[in-house]
Structure 1
């Protein structure tokens, strides 16, 4: 996320780095997950902090929470659960817990996006202290690492709204691509895509558009369709087998709009299996002016750049590798838990197939994505 969306340090006169903010959601209670676990431990006996359990509990308790956001919040919970220590000891603890969290997921890229952002914030705080200690002439007060740590712990609820505000901003930008009298094709049950479509309908009562929704069998897709219809949007559902036929024969489709799990530094995206296929089909319609857009919060940017057009397993995703025909005769029910289930598999869509990425900072071309990370790398 750009500088405007990183965790803001409290202002005390001129405070260096005060514009930085991390995207963290509101804790609807007055207690952190770590504090709640401590209360439970008083009843059930002591138990060590488990970042993987914390991360999964956060995702299960809030359907609107993204995986990068859950990773950031889990690492803040590490600070809740870890006794006060030196700056470098705290950073080492964060690195260790980050590694545990990444190792726990067959698709670590969303976790990596959030965890890297949080780690960069901590390291930047340290660099700010070092610079302040050697500059001598600056009148700006730089927060000590302990002050930064305490700010994270005691003001978590103040930072929380940033990520959901980002989704609201994306809805404003994305609704500009929803044209009166045209059709939007989408798939995947993306929360941010639904936000765009609902915003377009609510803020422009005179704008009449339709949606073609590809039902991929996921519960989120069905609930998304229900929400759109409840808002008065006309929605036609189709099966994945009809996508090429519909794209070729429905001339009113002008936008294909999808969400994503992560955005790579080169502007490619890792998303639900079939996204790449949909992008290819969109580009192959003869004489078409259809545009393929991806909607994503900037905290989903992972600081990795594929060297070519990779298989996702080369990027660290653990899912079945069909390139070697190694899975012939294997019952899907026997696949290990640490391998992505087929319904959760992902693919890579290269930037050349993407017309624009809709972020809270505006609609960016894929080659502009790296600029959104300049401020905190």
Structure 2
């Protein structure tokens, strides 16, 4: 398989794949400032919880790289302003906030202007490489749950494009294929932005992995027919205190159907997606522009004046989740509470 990267550092700027244009066109955007990065995150040129975490870290690295402040205090103030711009982009994925806190912690522990600049850039680059290695370890852990010949249903895109590389849910599938297992993937199209149709199918076809595209409302019938062996999805935030999983809208429906038909429902996510600090009622579920629902490909599909509700995520309760696949192992939702501390919990 040819390794796909969604984001990388290049000579003082950051290059990302513009995911809004896939699969029609593979185009790269060059990002030069934290404000440009914030716009790319908000407009979903780059998306996926792990990916936007690293994107935020690299946004801070861009500020550090270009900052000409001469005093430590002024330099840190510039970074703090960039951090606030990046925090305001998307409210639900915990990785974004975890990454900003991690990079700002490195900056605040640095003593000189040059140390801040060097350490912030190096930390962002380190986080990018960590992400890929984390996903590969997660993939190996999850592949143990997959048997040769399995048919796997997935939702949205939790692949290389949603991370720096390799992917979470798709990382599990990739690892199984690398082990020689023959699998079939059913990819839900994922309305309203069609990340499953546009991104997941593109990734899997690129890697030569068998995939069939279905509309979101076909999934339960597919399960009823006995044609799904497990469901594997990613996560934008997992609440450690209760085990609730916050992921792309539509995930809950698949979890309910999987439970009814006694099909394992797995969530694949790194520890940076586990929130050890907050309770469920503190999480903000992002609501996006109604035009995402009213239009497809620039064509209006609903009458003018139609009301729209467009939440980007839903919440799956822990009793519907068979296991959380992480780089450290596979856990029951109720086991998460004691596994770590701090935002993301990687250090716990």
TM-score, structure 2 as length reference: 0.69
Q: Does 1:295 align with 2:268?
A: yes
The answer on whether the counterparts of 2:61 and 2:121 sit within 8 Å (CA) in structure 1 is no
Deviation, 1:293, is: 1.0
Write the distance in 1 (CA, Å) between the matches of 2:93 and 2:149.
41
Q: Which has the higher contact order (CA 8 A, sep 6+)?
A: 1
1:213 and 2:187 matched: yes
Cα deviations across residues 141-165 of structure 1 (Å, max 9, x unaligned)? xx75667524325646862422122
Match of 2:19 in 1: none
The answer for unaligned runs of 5 or more in structure 1 is 1-23, 34-48, 126-142, 321-328, 336-340
Q: 1:259 aligns with which of 227, 234, 239?
A: 234
- 2:285 maps to 317
Q: Given the alignment of the two structures, is residue 277 of structure 1 paired with residue 225 of structure 2, yes or no?
A: no
Verify the 8 A CA contact 1:68 1:300 in the aligned structure 2. no
Could you tell me whether the CA contact under 8 Å between 2:93 and 2:273 is conserved in 1?
no
Matched, 1:347 2:314: yes
Task: Note if 1:31 corresponds to 2:16.
Answer: no
What is the rounded CA distance, in whole Å, between the counterparts of 2:269 and 2:12 in structure 1? Answer: 29
Alignment of 1:190-269 (within 5 A): 190-191=158-159, 192=167, 193-204=169-180, 207-217=181-191, 218-222=193-197, 223-229=199-205, 231-250=207-226, 253-266=228-241, 267-269=243-245
Q: Which runs of 4+ in 1 moved over 6 A?
A: 58-65
SS of residue matched to 1:253: coil
Q: Do the aligned partners of residues 55 and 303 (structure 1) sit closer, same or farther apart at CA in structure 2, a change above 3 Å counting?
A: farther
TM-score normalised by structure 1 residue count: 0.65
Match of 1:175 among 135, 140, 143: 143
The structure carrying a bigger helix percent of its residues is 1
Q: 1:224 to 1:108 in 2, by over 3 A?
A: closer
In structure 2, runs of 5+ residues without a counterpart are: 1-5, 15-31, 160-166, 289-302
CA contact (8 A) 2:143 2:172 kept: yes
Q: CA deviation at 1:275?
A: 0.9
Flag the structure with higher strand content: 2
The whole-number CA distance in structure 1 between the counterparts of 2:346 and 2:174 is 32
Higher CA-based Rg: 1
